[in-house]
Each structure stands twice: as C-alpha cells, then as structure tokens.
Structure 1
Amino acid sequence: MSVISSPAYKRALQFITLMGVVSLLADMVYEGGRSLSGQYLALLGASGAVVGLTAGIGELIGYGLRLVFGYLSDRTRRYWLLTILGYSLTVIAVPLLALANAWPLAVGLLMVERLSKALRSPAKDTLISYAADRVGAGKGFGLHEVLDQIGAVLAPLLLAGILAFSGNFQLAFGVLIIPGLLCMMVLLMARMRFPQPADLARQTPAITTTGFSRQFWYYLAGVALFAAASVDFALAAYHLQRLQIVQPAGIPALYALAMTVDAVAAFGFGLLYDRIGLGALVGVTALGALSTPLLFSTGLLTVIIGVVLWGAVLGAQESILRAAVGQLAPPDRRGAAYGLFHAGFGVSWFVGSACLGLLYDRALPALIGVSAALYLGAALVLFYVARRQ
C-alpha cells in the first residue's frame, strides 16, 4: 500500500482539510474586517500614524501574547480548548465593528480580534503540525493556507460588492456574523471527529527535556527581520484612500487579489519547501523588497503589481515559516515553539509597522529604504540557516 493511500495518511489529510475549512470561514470574518480597517479608521478620523500604530500594536498583541498561550498550551495540553475559545472571540469582535462610531472604539475591537488570534494560533498550529508530519510539513501547511485564503478572497469581494451598491460600512461588517457562526459549527465538528490529533503523527510525540537548538534561534532572528520589513495592508490601504488611487470599493478588491495570490503561492512554496528546505524562503525576501515601493507608488498598474508580490510573500510566510517551526522544534514543545515564533514575529512586526507608519507621514523614500534593508538582513540570516538545515 502506498503512503498516500494508507488510512493514516487519509485521516491526516482529512483533518488538515477540515481545519482548513474552519480557517476559511474564520478568514471571511477577520480578513474581511481587515480589508476595510485602514479606510474605515481613516473615515472615522484617524491619522496615518494611528493606522500604522494600530496595525503594529494589533500585531504585537496578536503575535506577542502567543508566547504566553503557546507555553500554556504545552503545559496544559488543552489545545482544543484554546483553539475554540480563540475562534469564539473572533466571530464576536469583528461584526461588532458595525456599531463603532468613533475610531478609538474601532481600534479597541480590532485589538480584541488580535487577542483572539493570539489565544488560538499556537494550539491550532500544533494540532495541524501533527497531521502535517504524516503528509509533509510544507504540503500540510500549504494546503491549510490554500483553504484559509479562499475565505480571505471571498470576504473582501463580498464586502466590495456591498460597499459598491450601498456604501454602508455597518452592513458590510454586520454580515460577517454569518460565516462566523458557520466557523464555530465546523470547528466543533472537527473536535468531535478528531479528539486526539497527535495520534495522526507518524509517531507519538516523545517527552523531551532538551531545549531549542541554536539553529532554531537563528531562524527566529531571520523571521524577526522578515517581519519588521513587512508592510501591513492597512497602511497601504490608507495610502490608496488618501491619494484616491482607487475607489473605496476597489481597496477590498485589491486585498482579495492579494489573498488569491497568497493561496496559490502558499501551496507552491510549501511543496518547494518539502523539496529544498528553507532555501525556498531566501528568494522570497527579494519579492518583499520589490513589493514595498510598488505598493506605495501613485499609479494603479504599479500598485496592482505590488499587491501581487505582497500576496506571494504572505503566502510564503503562512506556509514555509510555520512549517519550518515544526521541523526545527522537539515534537512535544511545538506549542511553546510556535509561541516563540509568533511572539518574535509580532514584536518585530509592531516595531516595523510603527516605524513604517511614522515614516509614511514624514518621508516615504525612507520607508522604502528601511523595508528593503530589513529584507536584505533577513535573507542573509535565513541563507545561513538554510545552509545548515
């Protein structure tokens, strides 16, 4: 019997697919909200610095607190509980943006959504990593990201249509409660069908007392530089709104384009990772450096090209970066490893987003130069790790 036709392989693939559907529906909620957040804050009177700081603080919460929740997930082994609680907060907070009538209230709800991401992500990634051990780390996380991004594409398109016909932001946010409820239904179904996802791994994770390798810490350093260099779409959306490069309904459509590229790139980069390892990520940094000046250009065509490149970089981030953590960390410490990974990413994203937001208000060329320099630093560190993988 071939590996791909074995019952264990099929069950692992079924679990990844089911969790991908959960992420698809959840993405319709939070990525839909994210596609509107930059221009929504601008319409509520927020400045460019506020938008940049909101994105940065949100990522600090969403990624930084994963260190705590990752450690907690390994200590308690309550991976399912943390996953379910995290998704529950998401499907409540984002639709409530429909009731926000001032930018501080909207910022608060966006922070709650980021907290929910921190709560569930290490536990969820650990659950998926067990099944990915069976089907291939890159393929497993790549497949999950493909399904995840279908929702990230559908929601912005839906919201773009609502804005085009009604111009009503409250209605656009309000309809997101529907995929939110469906998300919880599918998640509970997955919990009932696969109560112990660790059993899907090639072998039961052993209890270890060893720490993380030096290679793992170097990898986190490269990831930190990569995160600091990355531009948040909210700031790009603010740029498009301020210069009126596209109509308001066109911004979520561009975000949907990025999510489409993300999905295709995630699976492709995931398969490439299974073949050549982290070397697949080094070239991605060049795409990131090219995307920044294009995103902040003044022509529609160059902006579209920038969005495509930005989406490709995001796809690599969501597949290769996550897959590598599971490969570099001991199996029984993956919750903590994913917590460290996401925390480092979040702190770096916070510093990067805050600086890039401030630079946007003062010197756009400096923003582009700083981002490119950070991507170069990430490429050098990740190349060093890849050579020793």
Structure 2
Amino acid sequence: MSAARAPLRPWGFVVAFGTVSLLADFVYEGARSVTGPLLGSLGASAAVIGAVTGAGDAAALGLRLVSGPLADRTRRFWTLTIAGYLLTVVSVPPLGVVGTLWAACVLVVAERVGKAVRSPAKDTLLSHATAATGRGRGFAVAQALDQTGALIGPLTVAGVLAATGGDYAPALLALAAPGAAMLAVLLWLRARVPNPAAYEPVRPEPEPELTADGTAGAGPHRTRGTAPGVPLPRAFWLYAAFTGVTTCGLATFGVLSFHLVHNALLPVAAVPVLYAGVMLADALSALATGWAYDRFGSRALVTLPLLTAAVPALAFTDNVAVAVGGAVAWGAALGVQESTLLATVADLVPAARRATAYGVFAGVTGAATLVGGALTGALYGYSIRALIITVAATQAAALVLLAVARRSGRMAAC
C-alpha cells in the first residue's frame, strides 16, 4: 500500500497520534505536576521522592528492553500501544485517595510502567509516518501536541487544588474524563490506519523465511542488516552511550518541585502552574530542535548537555525567579530528549529492528534516569554545590561522547 492510498495522509496520522498523546499527557502530566508535594504530604523525604520518581522513570524506560523486542517479534504494535495507554490512565485517578505513602508510590510506578509497555510500539508506528513528513519535524509536531496536554493537565489540577483548598482527591479524579476520551480517539485511529508501515517510502523488509530445518534464512528479498537477529549498528550504541551519560545529570521534576515547596519559594497550588510553563518550554524546544535536526543533523543535539548542565545551577537556588528559570531549562532539555533523540534513533536503525532499538535505547536511558534521580536526591541533601559540579562533569563527558558518535558510520550522515 502506498501513502497516497492510506486512509489518512502522513501528516494527518501524525496530528491524530499527537491528539492521543495530548489527552494522555492531560492525565499523567497533570498528576506528575504534583507528585513531589503529594508524596511529601504523605511523609516522603527528598531522597525518597528522588528515588521513587527516578524509579518510575527508570521503569518507563528500562522495561522497554522487553516491550521493544516483543513488539518487533509479535508485530502487535497497536495492541501494545493501547494496553500501555490503558494502564496509565487507570493508575492516575486513585493517586489522590489512597492515603498511604506505599500505595501512592506503587501507583506512581504503575503509571510509568504503562508508558514502558506502549512507547516502543507507539514510536515505531509514528516513525513510519515521519519517514514521509521529515523525522525531526514529524516527531517535533507530535511532541508539541503531546506537551499541549502537558500544559492543560497541570493547569486543570492547579485550578481544582485552588478551588478545593489543596485537596488532591478531586484534582486527580478530574483526570479520568480526558483518559476516557484518549482511549476513544486511539481506537478510532487504529480502525482508520491499521497498517502505518504503508507510509514508509521504502517498504519494511519481510520476515525471514524458514528453511527446511526450521531456522531463519535470508530469503530472496532480505536486505542485510534488517533481520531481527542482526546486531544493532555501532553508531546506535555510541549514540545510546551519549544519551545515557547526559541523562544521568538531569534531575526529576519531583525533586525540583520539592525544593520549591520545601523552601517556601512557591505554594503547592502554584507548582502545577509552573509545570504547565515547563511543558510549554518542552514543546517549543521540541519544535526548535526538530527543525534544526532536519536542517543541520545531529549537531543540533549539542544543546541537550548544555541545557542539562544549567538546570541544577539555576533550579536549586533560593531566588524564585532563578529557580523558575532552572525549571524552564529542565523542560527545554526534556523537549530535546523526548523528540529529537527519538528521531535520530529512527534514522540510525532499519525499520525491521526499530522497536527493538527503541526498547534498548530506552533501557539505557532508564538506567541513567534511575541513577540521575537517586544521585540528584542524595546530593541535594548533602551539598548543592557538589550536585552542580557533578552534573557539569557528566555533561562535559556527554559532549565528548557525542563528538565520537558523530564521527562514526551512519550518525555522521545524520
């Protein structure tokens, strides 16, 4: 099937999938905007908040080591996408009513597990359409729509918190409605475009044929390097190493928001408003770096370590304006991480191995996120100066790795 005969044009698919992400982010980013203060109200310390939110993000990324290869092996991209979104939206509303720290921690991690289940499959589906729209621009537009929901959700939570005197229960229960709408749009899109691989200008290679002894053979049309058993390219591993090192220095918003509330820089009800602004910075950063990636290639990724190094130096001060600026820098770094980094993976890895690559890439990033969350929480309580120096050192190392990766094979052309 050609893209011209597909039920939706490539940009239509990107926008529709972006709408799904918009509604999903309405739900889970609305909750994540108050995760730090919510856990703190249940008795959690900064170290516990850093560990739990870091573990949640690590689960969202690390478990893709399983869901990515599973998607490539079963080719059930839509099934995994729908199941993951479903798990996320049913984990959020109960957060405001469980009343105990351990139960809230379980729900925080469960919501992130849903992201792990769906993300490699979802990114692969989206990558097919972005092959026709431009990788950077396609992923950037999807991320911008995604972050529109991340803007609306925290503002909604902030409004309900303000109206109810800081009661988390109604604020989080209100997120059930956009969750239901998201599932409806996702099922509609699945019915309209059952096979997004048709958008690829070059049709993905067929599965390997079985020989007489039951082993996988090359097949008459197999292109070397696209079979599921073929190792991922060296350029991909160098790129994943760069991403892991730079992610080790990126704090979680849970720790940032804890600092703001614990030091009386912002009231609890203002934290979701700030988070909405952070998500706007995320969207604008995604659009800017996505355009820059399509125009200038992987040189655009230099911005990520620079932004990451700036975050702790700004965010963990006692000046409200500077700390808010640090949170905005965190959002800009996240925008690069969640859009342009994914576009680069699609350019480095053949279509038949793409979900696996996304899973492995997320696993590396997840391990780095766990280290970063725990490290940030621990160093925050020990010495903010040591935290700033440590993050600066990791980002210098990341820039070196990026330079090495850019000189290798396929990434040199990206």
Under a length normalisation based on structure 2, what TM-score does the superposition of the two structures give? 0.91
Match of 2:130 in 1: 132
Q: Which residue of 2 aligns with 1:262?
A: 282
What is the CA–CA distance in structure 2 between the aligned matches of 1:8 and 1:80, rounded to whole Å?
17
2:152 aligned residue:
154
1:18-38 deviation per Cα after TM superposition (whole angstroms, max 9, x unaligned): 110000000011111100100
* 2:42 alignment counterpart: 44
1:67-82 paired onto structure 2 within 5 Å:
67-82=65-80
Amino acid at match of 1:336: T
Aligned to 1:86: 84
Q: Structure 1 pair 7/303, CA: closer, same or farther in 2 (3 Å)?
A: farther
Per-residue deviation, 1:384 = 2.2
Give the Cα–Cα distance (whole angstroms) in 1 for the partners of residues 53 and 13 of structure 2.
32
Q: Does the 8 Å CA contact 2:6/2:193 hold for their aligned counterparts?
A: no
Match of 1:317 among 318, 328, 337: 337
| Equivalence for 1:308 | 328
Alignment partners' CA distance in 1, 2:36 and 2:102:
13
Tell me if 1:372 matches 2:392. yes
Answer yes or no: is 1:293 the counterpart of 2:313. yes
Query: Does the residue aligned with 1:278 lie in a helix, a strand or coil?
Result: helix
Tell me if structure 2 keeps the 8 A contact 1:145–1:263: yes
Relative to its length, the structure with more helix (as a share) is 1
Specify the code of the residue in structure 2 equivalent to 1:183. M
1:344: Cα distance to partner? 0.5
Q: Which residue of 1 aligns with 2:59?
A: 61
Contact 1:277 1:386 (C-alpha < 8 Å) held by counterparts: no
| Contact 1:262/1:314, CA 8 A, preserved across alignment | yes
Q: Which amino acid aligns with 1:184?
A: L
The letter of the residue matching 1:100 is V
- State the 1:224 CA deviation: 0.4
Match for 1:279 among 295, 299, 317?
Answer: 299
Question: What letter is aligned with 1:38?
Answer: G
Task: Specify the alignment match of 1:185 in structure 2.
Answer: 184
| Contact 2:158-2:270 at 8 Å conserved across structures | yes
| Paired-residue identity, % | 42
Q: Which residue of 1 aligns with 2:115?
A: 117
Q: CA deviation at 1:242?
A: 0.7
**Alignment partner of 1:17 is 2:15:** yes
Aligned to 2:370: 350
| CA distance in 1 between partners of 2:397 and 2:57 (Å) | 21
Larger deviation, residues 374-383 vs 327-336:
374-383
Determine the C-alpha separation between the residues in 1 that align with 2:289 and 2:369. 22
Give distance in 2, aligned partners of 1:349 and 1:311: 15
Matched to 2:129, the amino acid is: A
Q: State how far apart, in whole Å, the 2-side matches of 1:100 and 1:379 are.
A: 43
Deviation string, structure 1 residues 337-365 (Cα, Å, up to 9, x no partner): 00001110001110111111111122221
Q: Distance in 1 between matches of 2:188 and 2:288?
A: 29
Q: CA deviation at 1:383?
A: 2.3
Kindly tell me: are residues 145 and 9 of structure 1, through their superposed partners in 2, closer, same or farther at Cα, counting changes over 3 Å?
A: farther
Query: 2: distance between equivalents of 1:315 and 1:248?
Result: 24
Give the residue type in structure 2 aligned to 1:66. R
- Comparing 137-146 with 276-285, greater Cα deviation is found at 276-285
Quick check: 1:70–1:336 contact (8 Å CA) kept in 2? yes
Residue correspondences, number: 385
> d(CA) in 1 for partners of 2:73 and 2:122?
15
Deviation at 1:78, TM superposition (A): 0.2
Q: Distance in 2 between matches of 1:116 and 1:67?
A: 14
Q: Which residue of 2 aligns with 1:250?
A: 270
Tell me the residue number matched to 2:379. Answer: 359
Give, in whole Å, the separation in 1 of the partners of 2:54 and 2:321: 28
Q: Determine if the alignment matches structure 1 residue 102 to structure 2 residue 100.
A: yes
- The 3-state SS of whatever aligns with 1:249 is helix
Unaligned runs of 5+ in 1: none
The answer for unaligned runs of 5 or more in structure 2 is 207-225
1:283–1:379 CA contact under 8 A, matched in 2 = no
Equivalence for 2:253: 233
Deviations 1:250-285 (A, max 9, x none): 111111111001111101110110111111011331
Instruction: State whether residues 244 and 365 of structure 2, in contact with CA within 8 Å, keep that contact through their aligned partners in structure 1.
Output: yes
Amino acid at match of 1:264: L
The AA in structure 2 aligned to 1:365 is R
Is 1:203 aligned with 2:202?
A: yes
- Confirm whether residue 330 of structure 1 aligns to residue 326 of structure 2: no
Q: Which amino acid aligns with 2:136?
A: G
Distance 1:295 1:239 in 2: 8
Give the superposed CA RMSD. Answer: 1.5
**Structure 2 letter corresponding to 1:171:** P
Q: Is contact 1:96-1:173 (8 Å) kept? A: yes
Counterpart of 2:172? 173
How far apart are 1:75 and its partner, in Å? Answer: 0.3
